[in-house]
Amino acid sequence: MMKGLTRRQGLVLAGAATLWPAGFALADDGPAYADITGQLPDLRFEMTLASTGAVVTAADFAGHPVILYFGFTRCTDTCPLTMENAARLVRKMGADGQQLRVLFVTIDPAYDTPMVLKKYMANFGAAPVFDGLHGTSTQLAALAKRYGVEYTAVTSADAPDPVADITHSDAVYGFGVSGKAHYILGTLAQGKADIDLVAGLIKPLVKV
């Protein structure tokens, strides 16, 4: 595992080990960001959108830069921290922030129903800027594999001590308006997130 990464941040390297450039500068809890343009496939999925209950695909978000994150609502640390940092980013970007789409993909679909996801995401911002994605186990596995995300999750909503058995990569992905992958935004999962840095990276994507 790369020095400076937390265990969960390091999980993403197992599936996408070549994404971090050699000699990449480390922030307080890991790399602040990595430019992955041309190194990962375009955004593609078919899942249920939490705010509406409708089945959506990546095409429904064309024209908007997208921040994609995999997590679960019962998470007590990195997941809410990342979403709060995303909320700070949206506020920092002003009018451009309203063009952003922050999509939270649950890795715990047995518990995180679309309604649970809808209520959870409302803590950070209103739809359509903040929304959740709920998929079948097959849909989730396909999307996670596409971006090198590793996760383990319980298989039922009433499993004993469920949070202890849920782990996932902490990678935060930034996509342009055409669905092309541009960045892994590690700093958004950090306690001392560099919001100015991310705003500078994402603002140009509003028109890409």
CATH code: domain of residue 158: 3.40.30.10
**Is 150 part of a structural domain of the chain?**
yes
**Distance from C-alpha of 99 to C-alpha of 14, rounded to nearest angstrom:** 32
Tens-place pLDDT, residues 147-198: 988 888 776 667 656 666 777 777 899 999 999 999 999 999 999 999 999 9
Percent of residues, the chain, with pLDDT higher than 70: 80
**Is 62 part of a structural domain of the chain?**
yes
Rounded to the nearest integer, the mean pLDDT of the chain is 84
Q: How many CB atoms lie within 10 A of CB 37?
A: 12
pLDDT of 7 higher than 70: no
Where in the sequence is the domain holding 60, given as residue range(s)? Answer: 7-16+28-207
Tens-place pLDDT, residues 27-41: 455 689 999 999 999
**Residue 131 in 3-state DSSP?**
strand
**Distance from C-alpha of 99 to C-alpha of 128, rounded to nearest angstrom:** 9
Q: pLDDT at position 61, please?
A: 98
How many structural domains does the chain have? 1
